[in-house]
Amino acid sequence: MRTKQFMLGLALSAMVGGGVAVGSYKLLDDDAPATGQQLPNTNVRYTSAMRESNVIVPEGLNFVTSAELVTPAVVHVTTEYKVQARRAPSDIHPFFRDFFGDEFEGYQRQQGPAMGSGSGVIIASNGYIVTNNHVIDRADKIQVILDDKRTFDATLVGTDPNTDIALLKINADNLPALRYGNSDNVRVGEWVLAVGNPFNLNSTVTAGIVSAKGRNVGILQGAGSYSVESFIQTDAAVNPGNSGGALVNLNGDLIGINTAIASQTGSFAGYSFAVPSSIVSKVVDDLLKYGEVQRALLGVQMQEVNAELAKEKSLKTLNGVYVAGFSENSAAKTAGIEEGDVITEINGVKINTGAQLQEQVTRYRPGDKIKVTYMRGGSTKTANVTLRNASGSTEIVKRDPNSAKSMTIDGARFEAASKQELNKLDITGGVKVEGVAKSGFAETGMKDGFIITSIDRNPVSTPQDVDKILKSTRRGGLLIEGVYPDGRRAYYAIGR
Structural domains in the chain, CATH included, are: 1-45 (no CATH), 65-294 (2.40.10.120), 300-386 (2.30.42.10), 401-495 (2.30.42.10)
* DSSP one-letter code for 263: -
C-alpha–C-alpha distance, residues 153 and 141, integer Å: 8
SS3 at position 200:
helix
Burial of residue 415 (number of CB atoms within 10 Å: 0-12, 13-18, 19+): middle
Q: Calculate Rg over the CA atoms of the chain.
A: 28
In this predicted structure, the answer to whether residue 408 has a pLDDT above a threshold of 90 is: no
Structure-model confidence comparison of residues 86 and 462, the more confident one: 462
Going 187 to 189 to 195 to 199, the CA torsion angle's sign is: positive
Q: Tell me which residues are annotated as active site.
A: 134, 164, 243
Q: Rounded distance, CA 409 to CA 468, Å?
A: 11
The whole-angstrom separation of Cα 392 and Cα 226 is: 14
pLDDT of 435 above 90 = no
Q: How confident is the model at residue 336 (pLDDT cuts 50, 70, 90)?
A: very high
Angle at 482 between CA 479 and CA 483, to 5 degrees: 150
Residue type, 386: T
Return d(Cα 246, Cα 322) in angstroms, integer.
Answer: 34
Other beta carbons less than 10 A from residue 213's beta carbon: 20
> What H or E segment, with its residue span, contains residue 159?
strand 155-160
Give me the chain's average pLDDT, please.
81
Report the run of H or E that residue 334 belongs to, with start and end: helix 331-334
- In which band, very low, low, confident or very high, does the pLDDT at 223 lie, cut at 50, 70 and 90? low
* Residue 263 pLDDT grade (very low, low, confident, very high; cuts 50, 70, 90): confident
Over 60: is that where the pLDDT of 17 sits?
no
**Residue 208 · residue 192 · CB < 8 Å:** yes
Rounded CA-CA distance 284/464 in Å is 28
Residue 185: pLDDT band with limits 50, 70, 90: very high
The pLDDT of residue 4 is 38
Looking at the chain, the whole-number percentage of residues with pLDDT higher than 70 is 78
| Helix ranges (DSSP H) in 28-161 | 64-70, 94-100, 133-136
**Contacts (Cβ under 8 Å, ≥6 apart) of 487:** 82, 84, 107, 108, 109, 110, 425
Rounded CA gap, 84 and 486, in Å? 8
Strands 246-248 and 254-262: antiparallel
- How far is 452 from 123, CA to CA, in rounded Å? 35
**pLDDT top residue among 52 and 8:** 52
With beta carbons less than 8 A apart as the criterion, state whether 182 and 168 touch: no
CA-wise closest residue to 316 among 350, 340, 285? 340
Contact 258, 193 (CB under 8 A): no
**Residue 361 confidence (pLDDT) above 50:** yes
* Dist. CA 254–CA 245, nearest whole Å: 10
What is the spatial distance between Cα 117 and Cα 119, in angstroms, rounded to a whole number?
7
Q: Are 417 and 403 in contact (CB under 8 A)?
A: no
Q: 46, 167 in Cβ contact below 8 A?
A: no
Neighbours of 457 (CB within 10 A): 9
Neighbouring C-beta atoms of residue 381, cutoff 10 Å: 14
pTM of the model: 0.71
What is the pLDDT averaged over residues 428-450? 87
Task: Return the exposure string of 351-376: e unless at least 16 CB atoms fall within 10 Å of the residue's CB, then b.
Answer: bebbbbbbbbbbbbbbeeebebbbbe
Please give the pLDDT value at position 222.
63
What pLDDT score does 309 carry?
Answer: 94
Among residues of the chain, what percentage have pLDDT more than 90? 52
φ/ψ of 492, rounded to 5, equals -130, 145
Contact by Cβ (8 Å): 195, 169: no
For residue 264, pLDDT beyond 70: yes
Quick one: CA dihedral 317, 319, 323, 324, positive or negative? positive
DSSP 3-state of 56: coil
Contacts of 376 (CB under 8 A, 6+ apart): 338, 340, 341, 342
Q: Are the CB atoms for 352 and 320 separated by under 8 Å?
A: yes
- 224-259 burial by CB neighbour count: b if 16+ within 10 A, else e? eebbbbbbbbbbbbbbbbbbbbbbbbbebbbbbbbb
Answer for the pair 116, 78: CB distance below 8 angstroms, yes or no: yes
